[in-house]
Amino acid sequence: MRTQLLGQLRAIGFVRARGGSDIRDVNLNSENWAVVKAALVAGMYPNMVHVNRKTSLLSTNREKKVHFHPTSVLSQLQIKENSSSKSAQTLPTDWLIYDEMSRGHRMASVRCCSMVTSITVAVFAAGTKLLSPALQEPAVQKRNGK
C-alpha cells in the first residue's frame, strides 16, 4: 500500500520523482508530531470533537454529546475519574480528532482519538466551517413551532 500511495503522490507531482520506491525520502517529518497532527486535522476534518470546559461535555458537529469508546485509551480517564464530565476537564486541550464514531444505546462514542491544539484546528481545519451550530450555544427553541 505504501508503494502504491508513493506512486500516486509522484504521479500528481506532490512528491518529487526519484529512482526507486523508497518512502523514507518523503518521510522526513514522521517524528515531528506537530506536523503529523496538522496533517491529520486537515485530512480528517470534520471528524472533530470539541471539549466544552463550562459544561464538561464532548460534542461534534453532528452530536451534542459524545463519549470515548470503551476501547479508546482516553476512556480510561472516564473510568478513573468515574464520569465523562471530570475526564473532559482533565484534557489538556479543547479539541480532538477522531477516526470513527459509533452509536449504541442512545449514546454516541468516538474512538481512535488524538488531542490537537486550538491553533492547529484554526489553521488546518476548514476555518469558516469550524463553528457549526452543534458547537455553538444552543438556541432557545420556540414553543409550538412558532
pLDDT in tens, the chain (146 residues): 878 887 887 788 777 766 555 566 677 777 889 989 998 999 899 999 999 888 888 999 989 999 888 888 887 665 444 454 456 777 888 999 999 999 888 889 999 999 999 999 999 986 545 444 434 444 444 445 54
Is 39 found in the same domain as 16?
no
Is 41 found in the same domain as 22?
no
Q: Please tell me the distance from the alpha carbon of residue 22 to that of residue 146, in angstroms, as a whole number.
A: 63
Domain that holds residue 55: 31-135
Q: Is 140 contained in some domain?
A: no
Is 110 found in the same domain as 41?
yes
Q: Is 82 contained in some domain?
A: yes
Is 20 found in the same domain as 3?
yes
Is 90 found in the same domain as 50?
yes
Is 111 found in the same domain as 61?
yes
Q: Is 145 contained in some domain?
A: no
State how many domains the chain has: 2
Q: Is 23 contained in some domain?
A: yes
Q: Would you state the pLDDT for residue 20?
A: 58
Q: Would you state the pLDDT for residue 2?
A: 76
Is 45 found in the same domain as 96?
yes
Q: What's the order of all strands across the beta sheet hosting 95-97?
A: 100-104, 107-111, 66-68, 57-59, 48-52, 95-97, 114-116
| Average pLDDT of the chain to the nearest whole number | 77
Q: Is 81 contained in some domain?
A: yes
Give 113-131 pLDDT, tens digit per residue. 999 999 999 999 865 454 4
Q: Would you state the pLDDT for residue 6?
A: 77
pTM score above 0.75: no
Give 30-43 pLDDT, tens digit per residue. 788 998 999 899 98
Q: Would you state the pLDDT for residue 79?
A: 43
Say how many residues make up the chain.
146
Is 36 found in the same domain as 17?
no
Is 44 found in the same domain as 24?
no
